Amino acid sequence: MVGTSGRKFAAIRDHLQKGIAEQYRDMDVTCDTFPADGIDRDPQAYKAAIDALKPGSGCCIFTPDDTHFDIAMYAVERKCHVLVTKPAVMTVDEHIKLRDAARKYRVLVQIELHKRWDQIYADARERIRSYGDFTYFNSYMSQPQSQLQTFKAWAGKSSDISYYLNSHHMDIHCWAMQGRAVPVKVTAFGSTGVASGKYGCPPNTEDVITVLSEWKNIPSGNKGIAVYTAAWTAPDNAEVHSQQRFQCLCHNGEVRADQAHRGYEVTADRKYMSVNPMYMKYTRDSAGYYAGQRGYGYLSIETWVNACRDLNHGKKTLEECHATLPTLETTLELTALLEAGRRSLDDNGASIDVQKLIKGEER
């Protein structure tokens, strides 16, 4: 386990002990940590940790968005497989460089886009692909504003809520459109006031970001439009931690999915909750063991681990992985949409040509 401050690890170990080891039977939470406990700050500690790994090992990256590229590139160049949380990187240029490095060193770089393993979303993707040209897509995802207490070290400085949350449903849309439609242009808008005024984030930090995009269906050339909205200023103590839903209208059908409300409601300690164990099941089984292995949050990581093992033993090729997993080879349009959204925001809502961005003409 790697961080930037060794002085945090004592509290982290205590948290793992109480939250995991003491909650489930036979769950070992011991691990090596970098940097050493007495070190105040070492942003390069990840290098020592990766240097300790053998080629073919796996490296999971769940760090602030603007650090993904450097850490992932360091791991790839040492022939380690990588699982990186979304967004994989922040620009098309970084995406292409990291993709090309993964090709050179023959390693798997997968993005942790766990919604692809939700059976409802996976089913919706296949139905969308059978309903003809796409006409309209909209999505909304939020998190409570108390999260800004955790994120204010980077919120509005090195990344934004669109990179953090819109990336989920942008990916679902891009995944459904593979080979059927391409994004053409993007315009983005943001609202302000809460993050900067209440939580001390930089001035003009967006509370909510809406990315509007125009698409072109293949081969018809018919236009489609998409609206992706993400917020990190939702009320605290709502029935869910994160509102998350999407709608897709096609020429021959329509799909709507609400991932936050699965018909399972719990009330305890004067708190009403709409819970979703299909993502991650935290309750133990009858024998006291962890029992969340079927959750789509777990499966997205397990699938990567299994793919790395199969690659190392020659049971699977990288090409087979690219065909079924969210790797750098198949997610360039997602990165382009995110970067185009940020460029538009920085240019007062200007229209950004996504295809030119992908080709390098907007860089």
Q: Which residues pair with 141 in a beta bridge?
A: 230, 244
pLDDT digits (tens, 9 = 90+) for 94-136: 999 999 999 999 999 999 999 999 999 999 999 999 999 999 9
- Structural contact between residues 181 and 217, judged by C-beta atoms closer than 8 angstroms: yes
CA atoms within 13 A on the CB side of 111: 29
Instruction: Reply yes or no on whether the pLDDT at 3 is more than 90.
Output: yes
Nearest CA to 290 out of 22, 25, 13, 19 is that of 25
Place of tokens 């999971």: 60
Tell me the pLDDT tens digit for each residue of 286-320.
999 999 999 999 999 999 999 999 999 999 999 99
Concatenating the DSSP letter of every residue in 262-296 gives: -S-EEEETTEEEE--TTT---S--TTS----TTSH
Residue-level pLDDT at 150 = 86
Residue-level pLDDT at 153: 85
Decide yes or no: CATH 3.30.1490.20 for domain 117-286+332-359.
no
Tell me what pLDDT residue 363 has: 57
What CA dihedral angle connects 59, 326, 67 and 74, to 10 degrees? 50
pLDDT tens, residue by residue, 224-246: 999 999 999 999 989 999 999 99
Does residue 91 carry a pLDDT above 70?
yes
Residue-wise pLDDT for 126-178, tens only, equals: 999 999 999 999 999 999 999 898 888 889 899 999 999 999 999 999 999 99
**Mean of all residue pLDDT scores within the chain:** 96
Q: What percent of the chain is predicted at pLDDT more than 70? A: 99
Residue 26 has pLDDT above 60, yes or no: yes
Q: Two tokens at 336?
A: 């382009």
Q: What is the pLDDT of residue 75?
A: 98
Please determine, for residue 361, whether its predicted confidence score (pLDDT) is greater than 90: no
Closest CA to 262 of 47, 82, 118, 54: 118
